[in-house]
Amino acid sequence: MNRARLLGIVVLVFLTTFALIEVFPYLWMAMGSLKSLKEINRFPPTIFPSSFLWENYVKAWQSGPFPRYFLNSFIVTFSILGIQLFLACMAAYAFSKIRFPGRDFLFYVVIMCLIVPPQVRFVPLFIMFSKVNLINTYFPLVLPYATSALGTFLIRQAFMDISDDTIAAAKMDGASTLRIIFRIMAPMAKPTIVAFSLFSIVYHWNEYFWPLVMTTDETVRTLPLGVAMLREQGTGARWHIIMAGNMFVVVPMLVVFAFVQRTIMRSFTMATMK
C-alpha cells in the first residue's frame, strides 16, 4: 500500500469520527426526547427508547404557552427581516447610485454601527423602553434591529454592480424611485438579498440574549426563552421533556438548512468576508 492511500484512509477515518461527534448529540437528543423519565435516568443508558413516547412532545408543549412562543418567534423574526430589507434597499440605493453631500461620511457612520453589539446597547435601551412603557411589547424586540449595517453594506455592494444604464432606462420609462429600487434593483440583487435574509432569519430565530433582557413576562417571549424556561420549572431532571422542547427550536432550523444548505453556508461566508 502506498503512502498516499494510507493518508487517504487516515483522513477519512478522522473525518468520519469528527462528523459523528458533531451529529451524534442531535440523534441523542432526538432519542432522549422519546424516552420515559425512568429510562432517561437509567445508567448505563440505552440508545434507543424502549417505546417511543410521543406524548413527551405534548407535555413539553403544555408546559408553557408554546403556541404564543412560536407565534412571537415568527412575528419577531419576520418583522425584523421585512423592515431591515425595506430600509436597507432604500439606503443602499442612495449610497450607491445618488450623489449628495456628506454621503461617504454617512456611509462611514453606518459601517461604524457594525461594531456596536447588542451587549453594549441593552442597558440604556431597556431604560429607554421602560420610560415609555413599551417593555413586554414587540417594539423593544424589533425596533433596535430595524436596520442592519451588514445588510445595508451587502446590498449596496450588489447595487453598485448594476449598471447606471439600467436605471437611466427605467427613468426614461417614467419609473418612480421606489419602483426602481424595489422592482428593478432588488430583483437583480436577489442572490445577495436571499443570502442576507437567511443570515438574519437564523440569527433572530435563535436569539436568546435580547428577548431575555427586554421582557419581564410571557407576552412577547420567543421560543428559545420558552425552551430555556422548561429547565427552570418543575423538579428533578426532566430531560426527556426538555429535549422534546429543544426539538421545537432545532428542527425548523435543520429543515431550512437541509433545503438551502449551500446558500446558507455561502451567506455566512459572505456576511463576514464582505
Partner 1 sequence: MRTRRIARDTLLGYALVIPTLSVFAIFFIYPLVYSLILSLYEWDMLSPPFYVGLGNYVEMFASRFFFQTLVNSVNYTVGVLVLALNLGLVLALMLNKPSKHSAFFQACIFSSYIISWVAVALLWVWMLDSQYGLVNFALSLIRLSPVDWLGDVKIALSSLVLVSTWKIVGYPMVIFLAGLRTIPADLYQAAEIDGASNWQKFRFITWPLLSPITLFLMITLMIMSFQAFDIVRLMTQGGPYYATEIFVYYIYETAFLYSFQIGSASAAVVVFFLIIFVLATLQWKVLRKKVHYL
Rule CB under 8 A: is residue 19 a binding residue for partner 1? yes
- Interface segment toward partner 1; rule CB under 8 A; list 50-58, 166-174, 182-190, 203-211: 203-211
The minimum distance between CB 150 and partner 1, in angstroms, equals: 12
Rule CB under 8 A: is residue 170 a binding residue for partner 1? no
Tell me the C-alpha distance between 129 and 99, whole Å. 36
Amino acid identity for residue 109 in this structure: V
- Which residues, numbered 41-70, are part of the site for partner 1 (CB under 8 A)? 41-45
The minimum distance between CB 189 and partner 1, in angstroms, equals: 16
- Which residues, numbered 220-249, are part of the site for partner 1 (CB under 8 A)? 224-225, 227-228, 231, 237, 239, 242-243, 246, 249
Q: Which helix (H) or strand (E) holds 192?
A: helix 190-206
Q: At what angle do helices 149-160 and 103-112 cross, to 10 degrees?
A: 140
The minimum distance between CB 260 and partner 1, in angstroms, equals: 11
Rule CB under 8 A: is residue 171 a binding residue for partner 1? no
The one-character DSSP state at 52 is -
Q: Which is nearer to partner 1, 66 or 257 (CB)?
A: 257
- Which residues, numbered 128-157, are part of the site for partner 1 (CB under 8 A)? 128, 143-144, 146-147, 149, 152
- Interface segment toward partner 1; rule CB under 8 A; list 48-56, 164-172, 182-190, 260-268: 260-268
CB-CB contact of 177 with 208 (8 Å): no
Tell me the C-alpha distance between 162 and 184, whole Å. 10
Give 139-165 as a DSSP string: HHHHGGGSS-HHHHHHHHHHHHTS-HH
Tell me the C-alpha distance between 37 and 41, whole Å. 7
Rule CB under 8 A: is residue 255 a binding residue for partner 1? no
> Which residue from 6, 28, 51, 233 is in contact with partner 1, where contact means CB under 8 A?
28
- Which residues, numbered 78-117, are part of the site for partner 1 (CB under 8 A)? 87-88, 90-91, 93-95, 98-101, 103, 106, 109-110, 113-117
Which CA distances in Å does 237 have to 28, 46, 223, 231, 243?
A: 16, 17, 21, 8, 11
Count of residues near partner 1 by CB under 8 A: 87
